[in-house]
Amino acid sequence: MRRLMLFLVASTVVGCSTPMPAANPQMAWVDFSTPFPNDKLLMAERLDNQRLRDGRFFQVTPGSHELTVRFDFEVPSGGMDMFGGGRERLCYLIVKYDHFEAGQRYLLQARSMAFTPEARLYNAKREIVAEDTQANCLN
């Protein structure tokens, strides 16, 4: 049992430290960003409704795609406990974009304003090309 636990921990650490793959010039690449410190996690979840194995980025063929990201962020607890921590909120945001171009890099940025999450997709010129069309929050 002890060996099994050690193996699981070691494989998790190795999996987290794998290098990013090289960008395919025949595809578009989507990086992630969150501007605020209370935004804890942003990762790729689904591409065109198919679950992804690596949540660190999207690499997509040219054309139209639906990107689903998992976004975890902290919301203030409110009430009388001003110094108590907030609580975490988990949301899935869907961004649809019809004009991905081969060889281009995009940035998907998610942010939260209190309880409300939002996502924007930027092109290489830092222009907004798409925004989330749907947010499904679990808490």
pLDDT tens by residue, 92-131:
999 999 999 999 999 999 998 878 899 999 999 999 999 9
Whether the per-residue pLDDT at 9 is higher than 90: the answer is no
pLDDT tens by residue, 63-91:
999 999 999 998 877 665 555 567 889 99
Total residues found in the chain within this entry:
139
Q: Distance between alpha carbon 3 and the CA centroid of its chain, in Å?
A: 33
In a domain, 30, yes or no: yes
**pTM (global) more than 0.85:** no
Phi-psi region of 79 (alpha: psi -120 to 50; beta: other; left: phi over 0): left
* Domain around 122: 24-137
Under DSSP, is residue 88 helix (H, G, I), strand (E, B) or coil?
strand
So what's the pLDDT on residue 47? 97
Q: How many domains does the chain have?
A: 1
In a domain, 108, yes or no: yes
In a domain, 5, yes or no: no
In a domain, 83, yes or no: yes
